[in-house]
Amino acid sequence: MNIIERKNIFENQSFNLNVPSKDPIYISEKFKVMRISLKKGLEIEPHHGSHPVVFLVLKGRGVFSNDSREVELGENEYITYNETESRGMKSLEDLVVLAIRD
């Protein structure tokens, strides 16, 4: 029997001053959920992925980009990328994002 355990998405969340922090929240054979934390001004350079992904902003504001455009997102807003689309993000303020991917 599985025990139901309540967790907080911000538990043990921290910002690294020089690089984004990436923390696994849940990993299974079918999908992965990661928490990404970027201190204000940090960036994940645009790069091509090999999987679809959803980025949901939990805290802060950031600019998310693909091959052809940029969009600014704030708390409770999200963006999706297909498996071959370029993706990047830059924090306009301290930013915490939930990434859900296959």
The answer to whether 19 and 71 are in contact (CB under 8 A) is no
List the structure tokens of 64: 């998310």
Give pLDDT tens digits for 17-37: 999 999 999 999 999 999 999
Query: Which domains can be identified in the chain, with CATH numbers?
Result: 34-101 (2.60.120.10)
Give residue-wise pLDDT tens across range 91-101. Answer: 999 999 999 99
User: Whose CA is closest to 34, among 49, 2, 72, 70?
Assistant: 49
Residue 68, SS3? coil
**Considering the entire predicted model, what is its pTM?**
0.92
Q: Please list the alpha-helical segments (H only) found in 1-102.
A: none
Beta-carbon-side half-sphere exposure of residue 92 (alpha carbons within 13 Å): 12
Task: List pLDDT tens digits, range 34-67.
Answer: 999 999 999 999 999 889 999 999 999 999 999 8
